[in-house]
Amino acid sequence: MTHDQLIYLFLCLSVMLLSGRLLGEFFRKLRMPLVVGELVAGIILGPTILGHYYPYLTEHIFTTKGNIGLVLQGITSMSVVMLLFAAGMEVELAIIRQQGKTALKASFVGLIIPLVLGFFVGREFYHWFGENNSGNILVFSLFMGTAMAISALPIIARTLMDLNLFKTKIGMIIIAAAMLDDLVGWILFSVVLGMMNTGVGSWGFLYTLGFTVLFTLLMLTGGRFIINKFLPWAKRKLSWPGGILAISLGFAFLGAAFTEKIGIHAIFGAFIVGIAFGDSVHLNEKTRDIIHQFITNIFAPLFFVSIGFKINFVANFDLSITLVVIVLAIVSKLLGAGLGALWGGLKLKEAMAVGFGMNARGAMEIVLGLLALQAGVISEQLFVAIVIMAVVTSVMAGPMLQYLITGEMKVGVSLKEINPLSTDD
Amino acid sequence: MTSEVTKAPYPFQRIAVAVAFSPRVEAILAESKRLQDLFKAEMIFIHVGEKNLQQEQYLKHLLHRFGLDAPANQLLWEVGDPVEVIIDKCKELEVDLVVAGALEKESLLKYFLGSVARKLSRRAKCSVLMLREPDILSKPVKRIVVEGSDHPKTVNTVDVAVYVAKQTHADDVTIVQESDVSKMALIRSDVFSDEESEEHKEKIFEDENKRLDDILKCADCGTLKVNVERIDGKPGYVITQYAREQKADLLVLNSPDTKLNLIDRVFPHDIEYALADLPCDLLIVHSRVQELSE
C-alpha cells in the first residue's frame, strides 16, 4: 500500500468509528439499539445520501476498489466473524440442558411456525422478491424461513427483565428456547450458504448438512473439552486479560478458517467456537466483558456502518416487499413465540409480550441478510427490506412491551402467580 | 408433573450405608459409627452380592468391633444391580441418608460410565453423603460450604447444612451465592445502557440477598457462625473450587431436579463439577417435599 492509501484507510476507519458511535449514542438516547445509529451513519455517508450528491466523497471515505477496498473487505469479514463469535458466547448450553424438554417444546413451536411460513412465502413468491443469483427456489425458501426464525437474545433478555421474569423458571425456558432457535437457525443458514457452494442436489445438501452437524457435535464435545483443558494453562502462563483475549479470538478465527475450508461459511465456525468458549468454566465475567466490549464497540460498528456504504437504501427500497417482509416477520414470530409461551404456562398478555420480545430480530438478522446478499441468495431489494424489518421489529419491542406492561398487566408478578407449577423443579 | 409430600429432609433418623469388601470397608464402618452417634440414627448396612458365610462372618465381626451391632441396626444382603438395589431399599425403608465411599477423582471412562457412589448421588430419592477420604480416626468437621442458589430446594439444603453443622459442632457454615456469568452477560449487551445493566444487576443481587436473608431467618442457626459469599462464575464449578480453596470438610449441594444421565456429564449439570473432582466430603440434600415424575 502506498503512503496515500494508508492515510485514506485510516481516515476511513476513523470516520466509520466516530460517526457510528455518535449516531449510535444519539439513537440510544431515543431508547433504540446502538446498531440503528451505526446503520444510519452508513446510510448518511454512503451512496444513499452523501454519495447521491457527492459520489466522489463517499468513494473517498469507503471504497470497494483497489487495495483499500480489499483491506476494508477483510476488516468487515473479520468483524462479522467476531460478531458471530460474541453471539455464540451468549448461547449457554447449560441453560438449554437445564430447561430440557420444556425448552425443546417452546423452541420447536417458536421455530417451526416462522420457518414454515417463511419457507412457503419464499417458495410461492420467489420471483416477486426480486432477482437473485441462487437460481434455486429451495435455497431461497430455506433462507426466508431461517430469516423469519432467528431472534435477538439480548432483546429477549431485556423483555424478560422488564416483565420481571428474567430470573424465573419461565424466563429461563424462554431464554433456552431462543438460544436453541438461534443454534438451529444458524445451522440451517450455514446449510443454505453451503448449498450455494456445493450445489443444491441431494448430495450437495447432505454433504453440507452432514459436515455442519458433525462439526457442531465435535466442537461442542471434544472442542469444548480441549478448550476447558487449555484455558487453565493459558491463565497460568499468559498475561491477563490480553492472553485470553488473543487465545479466544485465535480459536474463533481457527474455527472460521476450518469451516470455510470444508465448505460451510466461516461465520458458522466462529459461532460454534463462541458457544464452546462461552461454556467454559474458566471464563469469568471480567474476561467475557472484555471480549464483548472489544468486539461490540470496535468491530461491530465497522461492520454495521460499512453496510450503508455497500447498498443504496433509497434506490433499492421497495415498499411492497418491505411491508410483506415486516408483516410476515411479525405474524410468524408472534404466532410461534406467543404460542410457545402460552404452552409454557403464561397468560395471553404475557405471552404476547414474550412474542414481541422474541419478534425483535436485532443485529444478527442484518448479518444474516448481508451474508445472504453477498452469497447471491437474495436481491438488494429484499436485503433492504430485511434491514428495515430488523430495525422495525427491534424498535417496536420496547413500546409494545411498555403498552402491554403498563396496561392491565400486573408488573412484577411472581412466578407462582403466573404459573403454579413453575416452582416445581 | 406430580408432587407429593413425603418425609422432611432431616433429622437423619435412618441412615443406610453401602458396604463393599474394599480396602476402605473398615474406614467406612468407623465413619458410620460416628454418624450413628452424632445423629442418634438407626443404621442399615446394605451389601449387594451373593451371600458368603466367610464374608458374612467378617462383616458381622467388623460391625461388632465398631459398635454397630445394636438391635435397631440392620444388615441386608441383596443381589442385583447395586445401585438399583440400594435405591429401592432406601425407598422401601424410608431412609433419610445414604452413605457411600467415593474416590476423589475417577478415570474419564469410569466418570462417564459412573461408579456406584456417583450413580447413587445422581439418582437417589434421599440425601446422599459421599465420603471422599473415610478414616478410622475421627476427623472433626470444622468448615461447611453450602449452596445458596436461587432455587426452591435451597431453603431445605441450608436447613440441613445448619442441622449437620450443629450435630457435628462445626465452626462455621458458608453459604455461597453463585452469580451465573452467562445470565449476567445477557444484560450487558448494547440493548442496555451501562446504567441500566448495573441497575438490573443490582436488582438481581438485591433479590437474591433478600431471598437468602429470608432463608436464614427461618433457619434455626442459634449461635452458629453463618457467612455468605457471592462468587461470579459457572454454578456448580465455582462452589466446588471455593470448597477446595477453603479446605472445607463438607460441601452441601441441592439434589438434581431430575435423574442425571450421560448428557448431564457431556454438558455438565451443576452438580457434576463436584462429582468429577470431589473437593471434600459431599452431602447432596434431597428435599423430598416435591418429587418429580417425568
| Residue B32 domain-assigned (yes or no) | yes
Nearest neighbour of B182 by CB, restricted to A35, A278, A421: A278
Residues 6+ apart with CB under 8 A from A4: none
Q: Is B258 in the A-facing interface, judged by CB distances under 8 Å?
A: yes
Rounded to an integer, what is the distance from CA A160 to the centroid of its chain?
19
Q: Which residue of B has its CA nearest to A288?
A: B185
Q: Is B3 in the A-facing interface, judged by CB distances under 8 Å?
A: yes
H-type alpha helices, A262-284:
266-278
| Residue B285 domain-assigned (yes or no) | no
d(CA B274, CA B271): 6
Q: Which residue of B has its CA nearest to A425?
A: B257
Judge: B186–A90 Cβ closer than 8 Å, yes or no: yes
Pick from A126, A179, A167, A177: nearest CA to A339: A177
Interface test with A, best of B189, B191, B206, B266 (most A CBs within 10 A): B191
- Give pLDDT, residue A412: 37
The 3 state secondary structure assigned to B120-178 is: HHHHCCCEEEEECCCCCCCCCCCEEEEECCCCCCHHHHHHHHHHHHHHHCCCEEEEEEE
B61 and B107 part of one domain: yes
| Residue B283 domain-assigned (yes or no) | no
Residues of B in contact with A179 (CB under 8 A): none
| Coil/strand/helix, residue B46 | strand
B 100-139 residues inside an 8 A Cβ radius of A: none
Nearest neighbour of A424 by CB, restricted to B3, B204, B269: B3
Nearest neighbour of B257 by CB, restricted to A28, A421, A425: A425
B131 and B144 part of one domain: no
Half-sphere exposure of B12 (CA within 13 A, CB side): 34
Q: Give 10-residue mean pLDDT values along chain B (294 residues).
A: 60 92 89 92 91 86 88 88 91 92 72 75 89 87 91 88 91 86 63 72 80 77 83 88 94 85 75 89 82 38
- Give pLDDT, residue A410: 42
Judge: B186–A175 Cβ closer than 8 Å, yes or no: yes
Q: Is B50 in the A-facing interface, judged by CB distances under 8 Å?
A: no
Q: Inform me whether the pLDDT recorded for A294 exceeds 80.
A: yes
- Give pLDDT, residue B28: 92
B114 and B186 part of one domain: no
Residues of B in contact with A153 (CB under 8 A): 186, 189
Nearest neighbour of B190 by CB, restricted to A35, A92, A284: A35
| Coil/strand/helix, residue A420 | coil
B147 and B88 part of one domain: no
Establish whether the linkage from the previous residue to B11 is cis, with ω within 30° of 0. Answer: yes
Intra-chain end-to-end CA distance of chain B, in Å? 6
B78 and B170 part of one domain: no
Residues 6+ apart with CB under 8 A from A54: none
Question: What's the number of domains chain B is made of?
Answer: 2
B171 and B104 part of one domain: no
Q: Considering only residues A304 and A417, tell me which one the structure prediction assigns the higher pLDDT.
A: A304
- The last residue of one of the domains, among B78, B110, B137, is B137
Q: What is the pLDDT confidence band of residue A305, given thresholds at 50, 70 and 90?
A: very high
Interface test with A, best of B186, B241, B284, B285 (most A CBs within 10 A): B186
| CB-CB neighbours of B149 under 10 Å | 20
Q: What is the ipTM of this complex?
A: 0.74
| CB-CB neighbours of B247 under 10 Å | 10
B62 and B4 part of one domain: yes
Q: Model confidence over A7-19: pLDDT tens digits?
A: 888 988 999 999 9
Q: What is the pLDDT confidence band of residue A418, given thresholds at 50, 70 and 90?
A: very low
- Give pLDDT, residue B129: 94
Arithmetic mean of pLDDT over chain A: 82
Work out the percent of chain A whose per-residue pLDDT is above 90. Answer: 20
Judge: A161–B258 Cβ closer than 8 Å, yes or no: no
Let me know how long chain B is: 294
B39 and B167 part of one domain: no
| Residue B284 domain-assigned (yes or no) | no
Judge: A167–B150 Cβ closer than 8 Å, yes or no: yes
- Give pLDDT, residue A20: 92
Q: Which residue of B has its CA nearest to A35?
A: B190
d(CA A279, CA B268): 10
Residues of B in contact with A423 (CB under 8 A): 152
Fill in the DSSP letter of residue A346.
-
Residues 6+ apart with CB under 8 A from B255: B124, B127, B128, B153, B271, B284, B285, B286, B287
Provide DSSP, B220-231: --TT-EEEEEEE
Q: What are phi and psi of B43, to 5 degrees?
A: -110, 140
- Give pLDDT, residue B188: 61
Domain housing B128: 1-137
Residues 6+ apart with CB under 8 A from B50: B79
- Give pLDDT, residue B157: 92
**Chain A residues contacting B, CB < 8 Å?**
24, 28, 33-35, 89-90, 92-98, 100, 152-155, 157-158, 161, 166-167, 175, 220-221, 278-279, 281, 283-285, 288-289, 292, 296, 362, 421, 423-425
d(CA A387, CA A397): 16
Q: Which domains does chain A show, CATH number per domain?
A: 3-78 (no CATH), 92-298+312-415 (1.20.1530.20)
Q: Model confidence over A56-93: pLDDT tens digits?
A: 888 777 777 778 888 888 998 899 899 889 888 888 77
- The last residue of one of the domains, among B137, B159, B192, is B137
Interface size A-B, in CB pairs within 8 Å, comes to: 101
B144 and B264 part of one domain: yes
Residues of B in contact with A33 (CB under 8 A): 190-191
Judge: B152–A157 Cβ closer than 8 Å, yes or no: no
B211 and B228 part of one domain: yes
Nearest neighbour of B185 by CB, restricted to A90, A100, A362: A90
Q: Considering only residues B104 and A258, tell me which one the structure prediction assigns the higher pLDDT.
A: A258
Q: Which DSSP helix (H) or strand (E) runs through A112?
A: helix A93-124
Cell 452469497, residue located: A375
CATH code (residue B27): 3.40.50.620
B195 and B144 part of one domain: yes
Nearest neighbour of A423 by CB, restricted to B152, B188, B232: B152
Residue A356 and residue A334 in contact, taking contact as beta carbons nearer than 8 Å: yes
| Residue B242 domain-assigned (yes or no) | yes
B123 and B150 part of one domain: no
d(CA B193, CA A167): 20
Residue A154 and residue A360 in contact, taking contact as beta carbons nearer than 8 Å: no
Residues of B in contact with A283 (CB under 8 A): 181
Judge: B189–A154 Cβ closer than 8 Å, yes or no: yes
Q: Considering only residues B248 and A163, tell me which one the structure prediction assigns the higher pLDDT.
A: B248
Least confident residue range of A42-46, A221-225, A418-422: A418-422
Q: Model confidence over A407-417: pLDDT tens digits?
A: 644 433 333 33
Q: Model confidence over A111-128: pLDDT tens digits?
A: 899 999 999 998 888 888
- Give pLDDT, residue A134: 62
Judge: B179–A425 Cβ closer than 8 Å, yes or no: no
- Give pLDDT, residue A130: 72
**Interstrand relation of B281-285 and B127-131 (parallel, antiparallel or unpaired):** antiparallel
- Give pLDDT, residue A202: 56
Q: Which residue of B has its CA nearest to A89?
A: B182
Residues of A in contact with B290 (CB under 8 A): 424-425
- The last residue of one of the domains, among B110, B137, B164, is B137
